[in-house]
Amino acid sequence: MGGALPTSTTTMTLMVVIPTYNERENIAVLVDEVLVLGDAVRVLIVDDASPDGTGEIADDLARQHPGRVDVLHRAGKEGLGRAYVAGFQHALGFGTTHIAQMDADHSHRPEDLRAMMQVAVQSGVDLVLGSRYIEGGETIGWPWHRRLISRIGGGYAGLILGVPIRDLTGGFKLWKSDTLRDIDLPTIHADGYGFQIETTYRALRRQHSVAQVPIVFHDRVAGASKLSRRVVVEAAMMVWPLRLRQLFGRPW
C-alpha cells in the first residue's frame, strides 16, 4: 500500500515509464520502491519480449497492484528510443498530469524521483532533468573512462546545440504530459543517448521550461549493460542535424 504524497506534490498524478529487456533480477524491487512514493504514482513497464521472463514478472506485478501497475508488451527488441516512444504514447492515454522515465536497473534512485516530483510541482516547470553533473550530483560504480566519455559526450552535445544543460545524455526525466504531447513523439527515431539528447532539445526549442535536479547515478545492480558503441556514435553524429535544423529555421 503506497503512502501519501508530500503536501507539495498532492496536485500531481504520475505515470513512471520503465523500459525493460532482460531485467528479471531488478524489476520487482524497483516497482515496489516506486509505488511507495505515493498512491498517485503509477508504473508502466514496457517490455520488449525479454527472453529471461521479465514480461511474465511484469504481468505478475500488474496483478498484484491492480490500477497501479500496467504492462505494455512489444513484439521484440527495437532499441530504447522506440520503447520510450511507445511507452510515452501509451502512458498519455492514462490522463496523468506528469510522466517520468527511468532505468530498470536501479541506476536511477526512487528517492531522487521524489525530489524531482517536488521541484516539478513547486516550480511548475515543464521538464525536470535528473543531473549527474551539477552540484550535488554523482556517479557511482563507473570506471574513470566511462565517466569521462559521458561527461565529454554531454558537454560536446551541449556545446554544438547551444543549450545550458549539463547532462544532456541522462535518461532520468520527469515531464509534464502536455510537454510530451508537444514534442511530436512519432517523428523521433534516435536511440539511446541520442534519444535523450533529442527529446530534451526539442522541449527547449519549443520554449518549454526546464529545471535540473542533482541525482546520484549508480551502475546497474544486476544484469548486463545494454550500452553499445553504436549508441555512442549515433549520439555524437545526430547533434549536427539537430543544429542544422535550428540554423535553417526548420519547424519542430
* CATH number of the domain where residue 57 is located: 3.90.550.10
Give a yes or no: residue 6 inside a domain. Answer: no
Task: List pLDDT tens digits, range 1-10.
Answer: 344 454 455 5
Which one is predicted more confidently, 232 or 100? 100
Which of 43-57, 113-127, 164-178, 233-247 is the least confident region? 233-247
Give a yes or no: residue 26 inside a domain. Answer: yes
Whole-number Cα distances in Å, 96 to 11, 121, 122: 11, 14, 17
Average pLDDT, the chain: 87
Please report which residue ranges of 65-191 form alpha helices under DSSP H: 80-91, 110-123, 144-161, 177-182
Give a yes or no: residue 21 inside a domain. Answer: yes
What pLDDT score does 2 carry? 44
What pLDDT score does 49 carry? 97
Number of separate domains in the chain: 1
Q: Provide the percentage of residues in the chain whose pLDDT is more than 70.
A: 83
Strand pairing of 173-176 and 127-131?
antiparallel
Domain extent at residue 133: 11-247
Which one is predicted more confidently, 82 or 224? 82
Give a yes or no: residue 2 inside a domain. Answer: no
What pLDDT score does 37 carry? 97
Burial class (CB in 10 A: 0-12, 13-18, 19+), 77: middle
For 81-85, what is the mean pLDDT? 95
Q: Model pTM?
A: 0.86
Give a yes or no: residue 3 inside a domain. Answer: no
| Contacts within 8 Å (CB) and 24+ apart, 139-143 | 139/216, 139/217, 140/216, 140/217, 140/218, 140/219, 141/218, 141/219, 142/219
Which of 113-122, 128-137, 152-161 is the least confident region? 152-161
Rounded to 10 deg, the angle between the 27-35 and 54-64 helix axes is 30
| CB atoms closer than 10 angstroms to residue 138 | 11
Q: Is the dihedral of CA 121, 30, 91, 226 positive or negative?
A: positive
What pLDDT score does 166 carry? 85
- Say which amino acid occupies 140: I
Whether 236 shows a pLDDT value over 90: the answer reads: no
Give a yes or no: residue 55 inside a domain. Answer: yes
| CB atoms closer than 10 angstroms to residue 144 | 7
Rounded Cα–Cα distance for residues 16 and 26 (Å)? 16
Give a yes or no: residue 191 inside a domain. Answer: yes
Whole-number Cα distances in Å, 99 to 79, 89, 95, 205: 20, 10, 10, 20
